[in-house]
Amino acid sequence: MLSRPEDFVALQGNGTVRSHPLLVIRVRRTGLEDTRFGLSTGRKLGGAVVRNRVRRRLRSALRVMAPSFQPGWDVLIIARPPVVDADYQTLTGTLSGLLRRGGVLGGRTVT
């Protein structure tokens, strides 16, 4: 997982954005062997219980997709308020589509 503030700043400056009404992702190519993720759940989503539930659901979806990740990416996933009411299938489908469009799940790569 991404945790250092410098990593988030690098993504904000150099990242490529892919968006959907439920989620926004910022991706950036790195020279690392692993793909790292950061999650952003702002207060617009609701209280702490709601934000934690959204983070748990996103981490669960990422765990399922983990074997398909291309190495060498930093990804920031930003949750938008409609994600709170989305069911798990919609959430995973949206996340998978955005990651595929960003090049993290194979297909074309973004530099």
Burial class (CB in 10 A: 0-12, 13-18, 19+), 18: buried
Q: For a pLDDT cut of 90, what percent of the chain falls above it?
A: 76
**Domains within the chain, CATH numbers bracketed:** 5-102 (3.30.230.10)
pLDDT of residue 108: 45
Per-residue pLDDT at 111 exceeds 80:
no
**For residue 11, what are the contacts with CB-CB under 8 A and spacing of at least 6?**
2, 26, 27, 28, 38, 74, 76
